[in-house]
């Protein structure tokens, strides 16, 4: 695969690369760079997780070795349960990510507790704490903390550890949603002060929930990988999808970030009296038709439910019988 094709795969559907020049240099000089994403094992795997899993699949195709950090210590620090509960969910997370299409032969799954309790790591946490202000640590946690008002001290340690994960895992490219940006910038600034290299950072979009609000497990405004085909169809049909609105439209986000990368095209089935079936070979083409009113929300929703269920069918089968 040539360099420009690799760069196109890496940057597809990314909001930001910090920096693009560093990414190009990395790919020019390293045939097998390493990328990672860290996940707190907690709750259901849903479309938000699928966003970064899809990006990891792009990176694997582009020649990256992928590390998936199942951040059990981070989950504990962020009040996501006890270690036994977190360990059980971490195993389910791993199965779900593989079922979604991540190539297990090109991915390494690591529990944070496998290395984060070592002497060298803990010493680095203390060193990083000495050069990180309390305000900077707190700002870094704004988007990912469970307790934003009156946070615990453990949540100030969290971003310091996440920055150090990049160094201790030997990561070239750190991947995360835009809610991870402040932590990644902390890593880029402070890791070199401890003698480590600054990572290239790739940020994916933050999805809108099915109700048009911020996606949240407490609101239930998401699709889980374990939702039945009937539940997926019901949730999609009920979802917020204003006629002609492209921005902040959760149904169009599913089309852009999941369906086109997987299938390359979308066929919307319609009765002849409504114009008959129509095939789209790019998201821009589909979005343009939707904005102009040539594509009705209900027709779009029915197509999205069908394609999303194709993606999740294999996941449900592999996860059948519980986690």
3-class DSSP state for residue 313? helix
165 alpha carbon, distance to own chain's centre: 17
pLDDT tens digits in sequence order for the chain, 323 residues long: 899 999 999 999 999 999 999 999 999 999 899 999 999 998 788 998 999 999 999 999 999 999 999 999 999 988 888 999 999 999 999 999 999 999 999 999 999 999 999 999 999 999 999 999 988 988 887 766 555 677 788 888 989 999 999 999 999 999 999 999 999 999 999 999 999 999 999 999 999 999 999 887 778 899 999 999 999 999 999 999 999 999 999 999 999 999 999 999 999 999 998 889 999 999 999 999 999 999 999 999 999 999 999 999 988 888 875 54
**Using CA atoms, how far apart are residues 292 and 288, in angstroms rounded to an integer?**
6
**Using CA atoms, how far apart are residues 157 and 162, in angstroms rounded to an integer?**
9
The answer to whether the Cα torsion of 85, 111, 51, 186 is positive or negative is positive
Q: Which domains does the chain have, with CATH numbers?
A: 3-204 (3.40.50.620), 229-319 (1.10.240.10)
**Using CA atoms, how far apart are residues 79 and 104, in angstroms rounded to an integer?**
29
pTM to 2 decimals?
0.90
The size of the chain, in residues, is 323
């Amino acid at each position: 695969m040539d360099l420009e094709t690799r760069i196109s795969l890496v940057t597809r559907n990314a909001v930001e690369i910090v920096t693009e020049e560093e990414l190009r240099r990395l790919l020019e000089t390293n045939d097998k760079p390493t990328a990672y994403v860290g996940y707190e094992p907690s709750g259901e795997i849903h479309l938000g997780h699928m966003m970064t899993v899809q990006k990891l699949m792009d990176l694997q195709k582009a020649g990256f070795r992928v590390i998936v950090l199942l951040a059990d210590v981070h989950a504990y620090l962020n009040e996501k349960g006890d270690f036994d509960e977190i360990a059980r969910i971490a195993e389910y997370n791993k199965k779900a990510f593989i079922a979604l299409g991540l190539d297990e032969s090109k991915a390494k799954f690591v529990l944070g507790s496998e290395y984060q309790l070592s002497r060298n790591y803990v010493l680095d946490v203390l060193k990083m704490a000495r050069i990180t202000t309390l305000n900077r640590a707190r700002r870094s946690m704004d988007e990912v903390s469970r307790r934003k008002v009156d946070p615990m001290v453990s949540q100030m340690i969290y971003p310091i550890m996440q920055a150090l994960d990049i160094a201790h895992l030997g990561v070239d490219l750190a991947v995360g949603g835009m809610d991870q940006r402040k932590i990644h910038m902390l890593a880029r600034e402070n890791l070199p002060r401890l003698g480590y290299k600054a990572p290239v950072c790739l940020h994916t979009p933050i999805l809108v929930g099915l109700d048009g609000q911020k996606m949240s497990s407490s609101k239930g405004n998401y699709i889980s990988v374990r939702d039945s085909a009937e539940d997926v169809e019901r949730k999609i049909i009920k979802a917020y999808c204003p006629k002609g609105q492209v921005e902040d439209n959760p149904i169009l986000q599913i089309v852009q970030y999941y369906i086109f990368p997987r299938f390359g095209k979308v066929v919307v089935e319609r009765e002849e009296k409504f114009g008959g079936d129509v095939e789209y070979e790019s998201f821009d083409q589909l979005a343009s038709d939707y904005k102009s009113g040539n594509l009705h929300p209900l027709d779009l929703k029915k197509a999205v439910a069908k394609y999303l269920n194709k993606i999740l069918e294999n996941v449900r089968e592999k996860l059948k019988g519980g986690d």
